[in-house]
Amino acid sequence: MGARTSGHAKRWVMVGAVLVLLVAVGAWWLLRRLGPPTQETLTEAVKLAATGGDRVLREPMRPLTSGPRVLLFALDGVGDAEFRQAVSEHVSGSIHTLLGPQRGEHLFAHGFAVPGALSILPSTTVAAWASVYTGEPPARNGVPGNEWFARDEVRFYAPAPVSVHARQDVLRTFTEGLVGDALKVPTLFELADVRAFVSLAHVYRGADLFTTPEPNSATDLLVNFARGLVGAPDVERETYATLDQASVTHLLEVLRRHGVPRLQVVYFPGVDLYTHVAKEPLEQQRRYVREVLDPLVGRVLDAYAEAGVLEDTYVLFVSDHGHTPVLGDDRHALSAEGDDEPTTVLERAGFRLRPLLLEVEPRAQDFQAVVAYQGAMAYVYLADRSTCPEPGQRCDWSRPPRWKEDVLPVARAFYRANQTGEGAADMKGSLDFVFARAGRPVSEDAPAFQVFDGERLVPLPEHLMAHPRSELLNLTERMEQLGAGPLGHRAGDVLLLTRTGMERPISERYYFAGHYHSWHGSPSAQDSRVTFVVARRGEDGAQLRARVEPVVGPTPSLLHVTPLVRELLRTR
């Protein structure tokens, strides 16, 4: 009997060990879908599993002061048109009930949809949310994309990897606050200085409490994780919905334990992940909003009502970008690996390319060029090759690249690849713009990008005067916000913009990534027009409009979210 009990106990220990590993893998999988887990990512995943739930960031938390509250629903990838259509088609839904009947193009009985609100460039996840939670553009806040190279640190960041297959930075974002630490300006939570809780978002520096789903919520994802390892087809919608549902379930438990804060962010990443892989991305996204997100919003609103604070709460719906359907094949996916890809152009131009890894071994640190992908955009970083002419020599990345010897050859190579296929046949006709600029030391403000016309740099306003592009919204201003400023160097020395947008046939839309059914990152209307809706139960929509318009002004964008939240909280 004793021997059987001992054996039984050992079996349960083994089962327990396996479950811990599965939970760790599941936590890793919650954050990203691609690439096998390494020992480091599993270690970080175990850390996330151990700390999953809620994490107090301030001891003690700020006192719960009196005053209005703000509840911000952060909808990843849900463009303005898709959100508005989904809500209008679901008249019995929680969001429609909150907003009330529509009383004009942008006005509701109890809500106001900010007209024409734009994302920043690139219109992609991490860069956009960094601007949302700071009110500052990439050239000033220091987070210019889903991945980037900081030449002042000689470090590659990939909190949402596209060109590399490492997951360490994804996990560090949620376990160590990587994106928040990369920001060089104050966050909304620091500026507002009220009790603030954040659920699952990339940026939470300065908040009081950060919540993530319980590790057990990973269970349903483990099967799909295994399927992904053997090349199975796209996973079902429920896989992504599980992440959003689990985060809300745990958030509600946190609110019951700690009370309702003055500022609460509820981030929904699953809808964006699903839209990327759904075969009918825009239609399926609208269904996701109606069938998955709307009930989750309703659960949170009900919790506020039960706590007796909903009447005093401004509810914001904000997205970071939209989605443009694309073809998921080798011709349209300009990946980082393989023949006739953008990386091939650099290598054939004579540059030693940084390996497509998050961290490279010492013997491979003699690279002269780096790429970072942002969907419709790609950043190319170049070294002063006079500091590292021979293989094995490390470049001095504190020095800017030389125009004639370093930047011009790359700009010409990409221009020719686009025009004729020289150097990469599959790139012919894929680019809309090749932007470039003369380098400056990182201690100085980076200059604005200019258009390379095959021979020289042309200021973007001058180029657009000669070649109007009204479908590329606020292109000059948004390119300056991306590249011109104290941290503008983080957007590279040469910047490539693909041909994309709903104005083009799907066969003429390209993107820097692996195979997907939709992408974003461009200045087109489909990618750029974001959800920006303010509502409050019991308050007239016209009153809300009168409160919002002075803050957002005539050209509203994601940069106005932070000042608006502070205004609504009355902390400005």
List pLDDT tens digits, range 275-295.
998 999 999 999 999 999 999
Are 200 and 279 contained in the same domain?
yes
Alpha carbon distance 459, 510 (integer Å): 25
Are 194 and 111 contained in the same domain?
yes
Residue 5 has pLDDT above 80, yes or no: no
Position 211 in a domain: yes
Number of Cβ within a 10 Å radius of residue 216: 13
Q: Nearest to residue 174, comparing CAs of 190, 158, 159?
A: 159
Q: How confident is the model at residue 207 (pLDDT cuts 50, 70, 90)?
A: very high
Write out the H or E segment, with its range, that includes residue 306. Answer: helix 294-306
Are 404 and 360 contained in the same domain?
yes
Q: What is the CATH number of the domain that holds 313?
A: 3.40.720.10
pLDDT at 572: 66
Alpha carbon distance 348, 412 (integer Å): 12
Are 511 and 547 contained in the same domain?
no
pLDDT at 53: 65
Q: What is the DSSP letter of 286?
A: H
Q: How confident is the model at residue 519 (pLDDT cuts 50, 70, 90)?
A: very high
Are 247 and 371 contained in the same domain?
no
Lookup: tokens for 98: 């909150």
Domain boundary among 497, 519, 541: 519
Write out the H or E segment, with its range, that includes residue 394. Answer: none
Cis-peptide, bond into residue 60, ω within 30° of zero = yes
pLDDT at 175: 85
Position 153 in a domain: no
pLDDT at 235: 57
Are 102 and 230 contained in the same domain?
yes
Position 216 in a domain: yes
Are 398 and 446 contained in the same domain?
yes
Residue 535 has pLDDT above 80, yes or no: yes
Position 99 in a domain: yes
pLDDT at 223: 30
Higher-confidence residue: 45 or 204?
204
Does pTM surpass 0.85? yes
Are 494 and 348 contained in the same domain?
yes
pLDDT at 174: 85
Q: What is the DSSP letter of 350?
A: T
Are 308 and 211 contained in the same domain?
yes
The stretch 369-389 carries a mean pLDDT of: 98
Lowest-pLDDT range, 167-171, 461-465, 490-494?
Answer: 167-171
Q: What is the mean pLDDT of the chain?
A: 88
Q: How confident is the model at residue 226 (pLDDT cuts 50, 70, 90)?
A: very low
Q: How confident is the model at residue 476 (pLDDT cuts 50, 70, 90)?
A: very high
Lowest-pLDDT range, 36-40, 131-135, 488-492?
Answer: 36-40
Position 337 in a domain: no
Lowest-pLDDT range, 21-30, 127-136, 344-353?
Answer: 21-30
Are 256 and 346 contained in the same domain?
no
Residue 264 has pLDDT above 90, yes or no: yes
Higher-confidence residue: 352 or 27?
352
Domain boundary among 502, 519, 536: 519
Query: What phi, psi does 288 have (nearest 5°)?
Result: -60, -40
Indicate the SS3 state at residue 115.
coil
Are 278 and 191 contained in the same domain?
yes
Give percent of the chain with pLDDT exceeding 70.
Answer: 87
What tens digit of pLDDT does each residue of 317-370 get?
999 999 999 999 999 999 998 888 999 999 999 999 999 999 999 999 999 999
The stretch 256-267 carries a mean pLDDT of: 96
pLDDT at 464: 98
Lowest-pLDDT range, 184-198, 204-218, 270-284?
Answer: 204-218
Q: Residue 440 sits in which domain range? A: 342-519
Position 449 in a domain: yes
The one-letter amino acid code at 179 reads V
pLDDT at 295: 98
Are 251 and 368 contained in the same domain?
no
Give the angle 439-446-379 at the CA atoms, nearest 5°.
70
Domain boundary among 501, 519, 537: 519
Give percent of the chain with pLDDT exceeding 90.
Answer: 79
Position 5 in a domain: no
Residue 197 has pLDDT above 50, yes or no: yes
Position 314 in a domain: yes
Lowest-pLDDT range, 15-29, 436-450, 497-511, 517-531?
Answer: 15-29
Alpha carbon distance 209, 187 (integer Å): 15
Alpha carbon distance 513, 378 (integer Å): 10
Q: Nearest to residue 492, comparing CAs of 144, 140, 184, 136?
A: 144
Residue 177 has pLDDT above 80, yes or no: yes
Q: Is 370 exposed, middle or buried (0-12, 13-18, 19+ CB in 10 A)?
A: buried
* Domain count for the chain: 2
pLDDT at 214: 54
